[in-house]
Chains A and B, each alone.
Chain A
Amino acid sequence: MNARPDNTSDQSATDKGNAKGNAKGNAKSSINTEELLNSVGVVTPQTLHFAEPLTLECNRTLPSFDLIIETYGTLNSDKSNAVLICHALSGSHHAAGFHSDEDQKAGWWDNMIGPNKSIDTNRFFVVCVNNIGSCFGSTGPTTINPDSSQAQVYGPDFPLVTIKDWVKTQAMLSDRLGIDVWHAVVGGSMGGMQALQWSVDYPNRLKRCVVIASTPKLSAQNIAFNEVARQSILSDPDFKDGRYLLAGTYPRRGLILARMVGHITYLTDDAMKAKFGRDLKSGKFMYGYDVEFQVESYLRYQGERFSENFDANTYLLMTKALDYFDPTRDYPLETAIDSSPESLASSLAESVKADSSEDELENTLADSADIDNISASNHQELTALKAAFAHTECQYLIVSFTTDWRFAPERSQEIVDALMATGKPVSYINVDAPHGHDSFLFDIPRYMGAVKGFLNAPFMTDNRDQNSQKTLGARS
């Protein structure tokens, strides 16, 4: 459970440390037998080709696309034991097991998925898919653009995709696999957004939805961090408008910087203090700009490793997909159950207008108006979420971590509140863990136990039909 340099929440495929493996050092010859036995073993990814055109939310169309997936466990005869895993920002389809006998590192969620683990592969058929736009095998900026004249890669011409687009491709994958209804759709961080979107877009195709360390949508601060990351890449002279592969360059420095910024948001001040404090690499001040503090060394190392294994265009596109995420987008407020927020907002605006005629009070009132507006806007958010969740049919487990400040517990609670206000079955835990946003990748007994219990629980035949009618206006 120690913070490790190679276990960060946007797990890159090559960055998928396993606590046990690391603790046992770097046995070069082969993977630890015990670890192999505790895992799904050696796995082989498969690539599925989808020949039909795919129209995306941005109104552009991919003529065809590939999805690379891994599966663990066995699909039962009535195809009722399938669990879909959605990956985070820089994750991949390689969620569990090893790629060969020599492979040193297990998949990014190997502590969660495997025989007798929380997502038990003795019981469930687990599918993890690499999303389009990624750089690990599914169609994306690094794959060949069929419309290009000389079989060039998409590069910056790959369309901007959204969480909703991904979920659509995952539903097409479900059809291909013959899975009508998922036992559960599970994801952390950006993966949790996909799980949530599944429940909204395909309400009758999943029974359980597990949303971990996630948020109903990004905050202005979240978007701001993403923008810094993007600008780091975009302003690198080697970026060449995204055609770096053609130009024979690579925006390495930009990608390193982007990753460094991102990485800070996955950790906590306390975790960094415990790991590095103010320790100096050489023990004394050098009065220069080379690496001096251990934390600088760590961040640079992380950034460099990441830049070797990730594609800059993919990073740009993934951060935009995060920014765009909004499960309420198809549910404009006019159709919402409760129309009071507009009237609330307008009455607030009017009262502010009336009050601010008194000049000497104007500044103070402007401040309090800001606060009122935040409260009105929170109310509006709740109403919009309620409208989005009104038709969902699954049971939810929402998990947050106390030290996560990227997607803080309050953001998860917004999801919980909207679900409860629409009478949907939802459980919520806020797990005390020191690792910040990264916590969702750690083997924390309470968290792992809750996921296991939720996935194995009897499905309560509820009587929501009788109850949903008399539901439950938002506070007014």
Chain B
Amino acid sequence: MRMDHQLAERWIAPHSHVLDLGCGNGELLAHLQQNRGVTGYGLEIDEDKINEAIANGLSIVEQDLNDGLARFADNSFDTVVMARALQAVKSPDILLLDMLRVAREAVITFPNFAHWQNRIHLGLKGIMPVSEALPYEWYNTPNIHLCTFKDFEKLCAQHDIHIINRFAVSDSEKGHSPLMTALIRQAPNLLADVAIYRVTKQKPK
């Protein structure tokens, strides 16, 4: 399972009701359903991925995230998950607030545009970064609202969104040496290429 999915799973309570935005083929949802007794829905627009998820017995609803979450009532879910879709929607700020309307908590992952490799691409080479986390060319990328960890945290502060947990990783399947892990902790905005945040609108007790 993808690193950010593994992390997301930790923050989702057993038997909770979850909405997965941009759920792809439903990998995370299936895992949560089988191992944590979680219920819920995935929203996706990719036709093939939807059919794959349906064939796996998941509840997947075709919907463009840019259409917002108006169809869901306030507090319909315990947690809304959005893995690597924030940077691809038209209005990330509005969607973020809407996520925290329909659920108590949101778990969000996105690629860090301030990762050192991206900085080298842009700062030294003068070209738009292409990497494992951002595998597109500038002209065909769906990632229209790239941001850095700092940018995201600034947005949260502006809207009174409280960050419950934050975890920055380098998106390597192999895992990290203890030294690398320690370094990432020191300078996540430079060294980590994917971040995972757990946020809420409610004041932490």
Contacts and interface: CB of A to CB of B under 8 A. Distances in A.
B59 interface: yes
B55 A457 contact: yes
A429 to B, nearest CB: 5
Interface string B38-53: 1101000001001111
Nearest to A454: B54
A246 interface: no
Contact of A450 (B51, B61, B72): B51
Contact of B57 (A446, A457, A475): A457
B58 A460 contact: yes
Contacts of B76: 420-421, 472
Interface stretch (A22-30, A309-317, A462-470): A462-470
Contact of B37 (A416, A457, A463, A474): A463
A427 B52 CA distance: 12
Interface in A419-476: 420-421, 423, 425-430, 446, 449-450, 452-454, 456-460, 462-464, 466-467, 470, 472-476
A417 interface: yes
Contact of B59 (A426, A475, A476): A426
B137 interface: no
Nearest to B45: A430
B124 interface: no
B71 interface: yes
Contacts of A416: 61
Interface residues of A, number: 36
B73 A458 contact: no
A160 interface: no
A462 B17 CA distance: 11
B56 interface: yes
A13 interface: no
B62 A421 contact: no
Given A429-B62, A467-B15, A453 B73 contact: no
Given A430-B62, A467-B15, A475 B51 contact: no
Contacts of A454: 54-55
Interface in A387-417: 395, 397, 413, 416-417
Contacts of B51: 429, 446, 449-450, 453
B2 to A, nearest CB: 21
Contacts of B47: 429, 446
Nearest to A338: B73
B93 interface: no
A208 B76 CA distance: 24
A420 B41 contact: yes
B54 A453 contact: yes
A132 B62 CA distance: 36
A453 B59 contact: no
A475 B41 contact: no
B61 A420 contact: yes
B54 A463 contact: no
A395 B61 CA distance: 13
A467 B61 contact: no
A185 to B, nearest CB: 17
Of A395, A425, A428, most buried by chain B (CB within 10 Å of CB) is A428
B37 A427 contact: no
Contacts of B58: 427, 460
Nearest to A449: B51
Interface of B: 15-17, 33, 37-39, 41, 47, 50-62, 71-76
12 contacts: A395-B59, A397-B54, A421-B73, A421-B76, A427-B60, A430-B62, A454-B54, A457-B55, A463-B15, A466-B15, A473-B75, A475-B74
Interface of A: 395, 397, 413, 416-417, 420-421, 423, 425-430, 446, 449-450, 452-454, 456-460, 462-464, 466-467, 470, 472-476
